[in-house]
Amino acid sequence: MKYGARNAFSATVRSVKKGDVMSLVKFDINTPGTMASVLTTESLEELDLKPGEKVLLVVKAIHVLPVKE
Give the phi and the psi of residue 59 in degrees, each rounded to 5: -110, 125
Domain parsing of the chain, residue ranges: 7-67
Q: Tell me yes or no: is domain 7-67 CATH 2.40.50.100.
A: yes
Give residue-wise pLDDT tens across range 1-41.
666 656 778 899 999 999 999 999 999 987 778 888 889 99
CA distance 16 to 61: 23
CA distance 28 to 36: 9
Model-level pTM? 0.65
CA distance 31 to 50: 21
SS3 13: strand
Q: Which amino acid is at 15?
A: S
